[in-house]
Amino acid sequence: MTTPDVHEDGRVRRPVTERRLHPITPFRRAWAPVAVLIGWALHDPDQAQRQLTRLTTTTLLVALGVLLPAAALYGFLTWWFTHFAVTGSELRIRTGLLFRRTAHIRLERIQAIDVTQPLLARVAGVAKLRLDVIGTDKKDELAFLGADEARALRAELLARAAGFAPETAHEVGEAPSRQMLRVPPGVLAVSLLLTGATWGWLVVAAVALPLLWTATHSLWTVLAAAVPMLGAVGAGSVGRFVTEYDWTLGESPDGLRIDHGLLDRAHETVPPGRVQTVRLVEPLLWRRRGWVRVELDVAGSSNSLLLPVAPRELAESVVARVLPGVSVPPRETLVPPPRRARWCVPVWWRGYGLAVTDAVFATRHGLLRRSLSLVPHAKVQSVRLVQGPWQRARGVADVVVDTGANKSVTARLRDATEAAALLRSQAERSRTGRRDALPDRWMA
Amino acid sequence: METGSPQNTGPAETGATAQAAGPVAGAESEPARTESEPAGTESEPAGTEGEPVWIALPPGLLKMRRLLLVVWLGLLALAAGLVPGLLAGPGWAAFAALPLAVLVWGWVMLERNWRSWRYAERADDLLLSRGVLWRQETVVPYGRMQLVEVTSGPVERHFGLASVQLHTAAAATDATVPGLVPAEAERLRDRLTELGEARSAGL
């Protein structure tokens, strides 16, 4: 299906090809009514039983005869009325049966593109394409596309976003990817076993559940307490293992490639210059092995993990790749707050530290679970100095740096005069830091 | 420096529109504010290199806030005095002293808070300083501004006031200049927009 693409200047350009989603799409929500029924039955078993006995064959047949075609028709129509098209500078999505919605997504504003395959979609050979754009609450996604089509579309979108000519964008194909790092499952499993939160929940469960049993002697109370606790343990260990399994980090001209997942596979792409902040997190139990976890913030994106676990040197080389020209400041160069800061934050003040290099604003916090946040100067949106009454009495102040990913990085408890100087110089650096940043269309 | 009072603002280039704000309280003791060329033209503020040129808020905001305080706490004092006084005896009308004490305290606090607010337009960024106990100083480079907004509620409009709000890509950037004279608010908005375009940078 083709429609002429009429532009403001009235000229009729190359026709834009509109495409539809994969025909399997209408079935994506087929499980929802079943889930509602099961949920209701579990919630109120007695009444569900009573209702079931009252159902006769005829009512059942009539209900099926009405509901099934209605659901099928709805599914078909929503699929039929959803189109998408790629033009020179935009991705257009038209959708909606009664309430029409047309989204035009500017390609150079794309912050990340993810291709995800939930387990059932993997079986069916389809995939979901999700686009992260700044300023939209609702994630625009194309679900579902054929797996190969999704990959081809991602390659095309990235090629156009990078600034390749529209005629050649089709043929550019997937940019070659070079594998940088792969997290072995064994290391991931050990790292998750060494996570304090999981053990904390287990200890809490081991203490609280017997106490609850002696106090109430009610199996239901104990179960009601045990299920969320064990759920937290499961999500922190098994759940994370399943999503972070086979974590592969690749580098391509299109940006960073992150592939991961045991059951649900996800392939994320972060184009160059989109990373706003990077955090190196070092839990207490990982320190002896020299492992760190690397997190990142991208504007308008929910992806926040860059590496679930990696040796420190390797992680630092990856950070240098992600933020060009940035090297992670070594621990000795981080300046701790003045000694009098201990009156503001008694023990933990020792965990704070700050280092400002030519390229990056780096702050550390945490004593047991150390976390080092890096913000390139070019990504700083505004700088603030905050000083409470107690801090003023001690002559210290906090310097807060705001980034476009709606995260702020705070250098806590700096000497007041140093903080004032830092405020001015940081504003200057963030202004000049932008000069040698990559353009939005990075291949143009 | 930077004690948060307009006494320390020094010679300020306020421009023709800011002059309409009338004499700024506390500035009388100061050498008269120099009337240099109107701001918004090519010439950058004098304090580009060294100290920033701070501009305090016009007194209208203080007047408005004080009036609101008097109205609300006056009503509260009346209620706190009359209800127990009529129901339980005239001695209980002393409850009215509580809102009145808050009123006096608020009267003083509002002025301190109002004095602490000030802003400075530098060559490449806007400086905003506020707060008495919890002090906050914000620097927003012009190139990072995504949107400049002038808002004015019904009460503010009645008092002839408007606020200028700056938005960057970071939602945490809370840069609002309240209680400006509308003409100054519009001048500031236009100047910020112009400078923002000239120095525009992406994310």
Residues found in chain B:
203
Rounded CA gap, B45 and B43, in Å? 7
Same domain assignment for residues B134 and B178: yes
- Which residues from A are below 8 Å from B138, CB to CB? 382-385
Do residue B96 and residue B137 come from a single domain?
no
Assess if residue B161 is contained within a domain: yes
Listed as ranges, residues in chain B with pLDDT below 50 are 1-48
Q: Does residue B125 sit in the same domain as residue B202?
A: yes
Residues B155 and B189 in one domain: yes
- Model pLDDT for residues A276-301, shown as the tens digit of each residue: 899 999 999 999 999 999 999 988 77
Q: Nearest-CA distance from A317 to chain B in Å?
A: 24
- Residues of chain A with Cβ-Cβ distance to B169 below 8 Å are 134, 299, 381, 404
The residue with tokens 């609702």 is A138
Q: How far apart are CA A353 and CA A411, in angstroms?
A: 7
We report the CATH number of the domain holding residue B139 as 2.30.29.30
Q: Are residues B132 and B105 in the same domain?
A: no
Residue A168 burial (C-beta neighbours within 10 Å; 0-12, 13-18, 19+) = exposed
- Residue pair A278/A257 in contact by the 8 Å Cβ criterion: no
Same-domain check for residues B150 and B88: no
Residues 6+ apart with CB under 8 A from B144: A381, A382, A430, B168, B169, B201
Which H/E stretch holds residue A73? helix A57-80
| C-alpha R_g of chain B | 20
Of the residues B94, B111, B128, the one at which a domain ends = B111
* Predicted pLDDT of residue A1: 39
Query: Starting at the edge strand that comes first in sequence, how are the strands of the sheet with B175-180 ordered?
Result: B145-151, B162-168, B175-180
**ipTM of the prediction:** 0.73
Place of tokens 């999704």: A150
Q: Rounded to whole angstroms, how far apart are CA atoms B21 and B58?
A: 6
User: Quick one: which of A415, A410, A374, A378 has its CA closest to A395?
Assistant: A415
How far lies A322's CA from each of A162, A260, B189, in Å? 17, 18, 37
**Is domain A272-432 in CATH 2.30.29.30, yes or no?**
yes
Q: Is residue B92 within 8 Å of residue B17, measured between CB atoms?
A: no
> What per-residue string of b and e applies to A121-149 under the rule 16 or more CB within 10 Å gives b?
beebebbbbbbbbbeeeeebebbbbbbeb
| Res A280: pLDDT | 94
Residues B199 and B157 in one domain: yes
**From CA A397, how far away is CA A413, in angstroms rounded?**
5
Q: Where are the domains of chain A?
A: 185-244, 272-432
pLDDT at A170: 63
Q: Is B199 exposed, middle or buried (0-12, 13-18, 19+ CB in 10 A)?
A: middle
Summarised one tens digit per residue, pLDDT across range A35-94 is 777 777 777 777 777 777 777 778 888 887 888 888 888 888 888 888 899 887 888 888
Say whether both B129 and B194 belong to one domain.
Answer: yes
Per the structure, the complete domain to which residue B195 belongs is given by: 120-203
- Contact (Cβ atoms closer than 8 angstroms) between residue A89 and residue A104: no
Helix (H, G, I), strand (E, B) or coil at A440: coil
Q: Where are the alpha helices (DSSP H) in A141-257?
A: 147-162, 166-172, 185-193, 196-216, 219-234, 240-244
Q: Distance between CA atoms of A350 and B49, rounded to whole angstroms?
A: 36
- In the predicted model, residues of chain A with pLDDT beneath 70 are 1-15, 29-31, 33, 135-139, 165-173, 434-444
Q: Is B38 within 8 Å of B16 (Cβ atoms)?
A: yes
> Given A384, A389, A431, which is nearest B141 (Cβ)?
A431
Beta-carbon contacts of A109 under 8 Å, excluding residues fewer than 6 positions away, are: A133, A134, A440
Count the Cβ atoms, other than its own, within 10 Å of residue A30.
11
Q: What is the pLDDT of residue A412?
A: 92
**Residue that is written with structure tokens 């990340």 in the block:** A112
Q: Which residues contact A300 (CB under 8 A, 6 or more apart)?
A: A111, A132, A133, A134, A135, A136, A405
Same structural domain, B105 and B129 = no
Does B136 touch chain A if contact means CB atoms closer than 8 Å? yes
pLDDT at residue B23, as a whole number: 38
**Up-side HSE of residue A139: CA atoms within 13 Å toward CB?**
17
Cα(A380)–Cα(A111) distance, integer angstroms: 17
Asked if residue B157 belongs to a domain, the reply is yes
Are B178 and B141 part of one and the same domain? yes
Domain boundary among B111, B146, B178: B111
Domain-embedded: residue B38: no
Does residue B35 belong to the interface with chain A, where contact is any CB pair within 8 Å? no
Q: Is B159 a domain residue?
A: yes
**Where do the DSSP E strands lie in A312-359?**
353-356
Alpha carbon distance A52, A37 (integer Å): 12
Distance CA A230, CA B92 (A): 58
In chain B, what residues touch A384 (CB-CB under 8 Å)?
A: 136-139
Best to test chain A binding among B133, B139, B200 (most A CBs inside 10 Å) = B139
* Distance from C-alpha of A222 to C-alpha of A212, rounded to nearest angstrom: 6
Q: Does B135 touch chain A (CB under 8 A)?
A: yes
What tokens were used for A60? 């059942």
The whole-number pLDDT of residue B36 equals 39
- B89 and B71 together in one domain: yes
Q: Each residue of A209-247: b (16+ CB within 10 Å) or e?
A: beebeeeeeeeeebeebeeebeebbeebbeebbebbbeb
Which residue of chain B comes nearest to A388, CA vs CA?
A: B134
Cβ of residue B202 closer than 8 Å to a chain A Cβ: yes
Residue where one domain finishes, among candidates B111, B129, B150: B111
Residue in B with minimal Cα distance to A423? B139
Q: Which of B18, B12, B60, B52 has its CA nearest to residue B32?
A: B12
Tell me, yes or no, if A387 comes closer than 8 A to chain B by beta carbon.
Answer: yes
Nearest-Cα distance to chain B for A323, in Å, is: 14
